[in-house]
Amino acid sequence: MKLFLQALITALLLVSSLGCSCFPVSFEKSYCDSSTSFRATVLAETDNCVGKCHPIDDQMEGAITYILKVSEVFRGTMPEDEVAYMRTPVNSGLCGITLGVGTEYVFNLPYIAMSAPFQCPSEYFSIGLCDSIEEWESLADGAKQFIADNVNNGQKLCGPGPPLPSPLVIEMPETTPTVTMTPQALLTA
């Protein structure tokens, strides 16, 4: 029995150590370190699970996607049609985050949107608990003033900002050449 309890306690400690943990960062630092910063309202929530996402069963492949209406961009560029897509894991242990539909947030993200050309949506942000995402209504007046001062001064309070990542280039191995046949060649073949 004693061995069983030791094994159980060890397993619980191991599981808790694998959870999501983040270092606290001030709003100003997260804003200045961001490549993309904007204010947006969550319009809808959807997921890629069959039925409703289960936090345990779907944790490895399940994802929640939030559809946002962007009202103001502070850093970076305005998304196409002023709509942004946020994708997050279904489980907070894997740093998944829950956003409220109808709630307005400020997103300070240290990266640009990810591209998935053959998926819908074709561009999205991957977000989690460690990202700087604050409810606009709860944001301190000093933080709102910092944003306004920084935007009005041409981003001089933060400096030029972090460099944007270069596009990912994937080298494809050479493939065997394909033969293209015209309809006439097919008829005579």
Count other Cβ atoms within 10 Å, centred on residue 38.
Answer: 23
CATH for 127: 2.40.50.120
CA distance 40 to 135: 10
Q: What is the per-residue pLDDT across 11-60, written as a single tens digit (0 to 9) for each?
A: 444 444 556 888 888 999 999 888 899 999 999 998 877 677 766 676 67
Q: What is the per-residue pLDDT across 125-154, written as a single tens digit (0 to 9) for each?
A: 889 999 999 999 999 999 999 998 888 877
pLDDT > 70 fraction of the chain, expressed in percent and rounded: 67
Q: Is residue 182 part of a domain?
A: no
Q: Is residue 159 part of a domain?
A: no
Task: Please give the residue range of the domain that contains residue 40.
Answer: 26-152
Q: Is residue 176 part of a domain?
A: no
Q: Is residue 61 part of a domain?
A: yes
pTM over 0.75: no
On whether 20 is known to bind a ligand per the annotation, the reply is yes
Note the pLDDT of residue 177: 46
Q: Is residue 53 part of a domain?
A: yes
Question: Total domain count for the chain?
Answer: 1
Q: Is residue 183 part of a domain?
A: no
Helix, strand, coil share of the chain (percent; to 5):
25, 25, 50
